[in-house]
Each structure stands twice: as C-alpha cells, then as structure tokens.
Amino acid sequence: MSTSTLDLTRLQDELRYQGILMSFSGPFSHSIIEELGKAIRHHLESTQVAGSALMDVFAVYIEQAQNVRNYISRLESGPEQTRLAGSGIVVIAQDEQRYVISSGNLLDRTDAPALVAHLERLRSLDKAGLKALYKEQMRQPLNPQGGAGLGLICMARKGAAPLEYALGDVDERYVFFSLRVVI
Amino acid sequence: MDSLVIEKSRSSPAIRLDASARSLSISGESYPENAAAFYAPVFAWLKTFLADLEPTTMVQVDLAVRYLNSSSTKVMLNFLDLLEQAAQDGAQVIVNWRYDPDNESILECGQDFSEELTALTFNLVEQSQEPP
C-alpha cells in the first residue's frame, strides 16, 4: 500500500472545511441507521445544543435515512442491486449556528417528475400550508413497505428554509437525487 | 383478556396494554424498520379490547413518547382514531400526552393529534422524562 492512500489529512481537511460532523455512504441497514442516530445525539448532547434543535436534527436524519433505505429496497432487484444499495449517503454538517442534514441516492428517472412536483409544492407552501398538507397526508393509509409519504412534509415543517434538492445526470436509467434540509 | 406487553428497543417503544385495569401505555421512541408490522399486534389487541368494552367504561391512555417518525405518527393517529370511536360510542377515554418541556417537537405532535380528536379527553401534560 502506498503512503498516499494512508494519508487521511486531505480527507480530514475537506470534512473540516465542509463542517461535516458525520456521514455515512454505502448500504444502509436498520441497525446502521440506529447506531448513527445514537452517535449524532451523543455528539449534540456533548455540545450543549438545545433539546428541541437536537431532536429536530435527529428527526430529519431519521426521515432521510429511512427514505433512502425504503426507496432503494423498493427498487432493488436484479443485477443493479449492489450499485443501488451502495448509492445511499447521509451527511450531517454544522454551518455556524445551523445544522444541515443532507441525503442522496440513485433515483429511477421515471420517478423524478412526481418527486420534483411534490418538492416544488412543498417549497411553495408556508408553515400553515405545510401543516394542512401534513394533516391531510396523515389520514392516507400506510403503504406495505412501511413508508408514510409524510417524511418530506415532516422535513419541510422542521426546516428553517425551504427544502433544497438537485438531480444530477448519471446514465440512461438513473439520476442522482440530493436533498438538503437546514435546521 | 390477556395483557399485551412489548419491551422497548432503541427504535421501538415500551407498550403495556392491560385489559383488566383498562390502562394502555406507550412510552419511548418509535422509528422501527416497518411501523405497520411492528404495531400490527397492538391493533389486533386494541380492536378485541374495544369490541368487548361495556359502554361508559373508563379507559386510561398514557402516551409518553420522545420521538415518532413519520410512519409511527400515522400509526399513532390510527390508534387514537380507534379510541375516538370508542369515546363516540360512550366509553370515557382519557388520553394523557406526556411531553418533556425540552422537546418542542413532541408537544407540537400532541397538539396536531388533539386537533383531530373531539370525543375523547386529550390532555397535554408537561413532564420531564429520563433520557433512554
């Protein structure tokens, strides 16, 4: 092994520069989601962050991680399974007094228009509008995979600013979906 | 009717449903891998319990949750809807939603629920909670 692959200072500098407290990239399991959640809570408790902000960061992290996992497990089948499962990422960063929770995963192009329409609708609503939509969605039945269709609305309600997202070109079948929530 | 007792785990709450005391309690955090599957036995128990309930009976429900993910929120509303129906049918249902003063999200969550329920008594009760 060459010394350059062992030298992590560049990676460390980049993590510091971006304010990244924690990140996970790769296949999510439920136990990984639990463990990282525990770690971020311990970290935030040690920095004396207010209880409400701590629970908001934790809540947004859980919704993002479970969304990534649920979406990928719904798509997973056939030879692309490893690639899809490995595409998930969640990042928790600190930007001065704010916390930024971001997630990403491969997204089937056919799913993109509905997701974009949903996100744009959420971005256009104020807190009262989001609450009304949340209550309406709360009454819809739970789907068998366990998803509630409430996760993005819940994140939008907690966010200090509208949800930000990006779709990056990957190949004919997939785009890469990135989502960013500021607390 | 037997009680239903489920011990808590990191991502699922402690559940104590006691038919003879007519006392139902859920406490802890809820973000299980699959909320519908996790809560299926709770719904099965509750439906049987409510079907056997004499009118005007008092049912005490204690909810002391620190965190509900979005699918658990939906499940909790379904749980409360069944109790709401029982209250409309004449049972005296008292729900105490216990929230930590340091946890605004769970207070808001309780307020969201209380706006959906009219026949049962829904109390928001401030109570400091031990961390898990």
Quote ipTM for the complex.
0.93
For domain B4-126, the CATH class is alpha beta
Minimum distance, in Å, between the CA of residue B132 and any CA atom of chain A: 10
User: CATH number of the domain that A122 lies in?
Assistant: 3.30.565.10
For residue A16, give its domain range: 3-182
The answer to whether A157 and A122 have CB atoms below 8 angstroms apart is no
CA-based nearest residue to B59, from B120, B126, B118, B127: B120
Summarize pLDDT for B40-93 with one digit per residue, the tens. 999 999 999 999 898 889 999 999 999 999 999 999 999 999 999 999 999 999
Task: Concatenate the DSSP letters of all residues of B99-117 into one string.
Answer: E-TT-HHHHHHHHHHHHH-
CB pair distance less than 8 Å for B36 and A58: no
Total tally of structural domains belonging to chain A: 1
- For chain A, the straight-line distance linking the first and the last C-alpha, in angstroms and rounded, comes to 41
Summarize pLDDT for A5-54 with one digit per residue, the tens. 678 999 999 999 999 999 999 999 999 999 999 999 999 989 878 888 99
Chain A, residues 120-179, CB within 8 A of chain B, namely 131, 134-135, 138-140, 142, 144-148, 150-151, 153-154, 158
Residue B130 has pLDDT above 70, yes or no: no
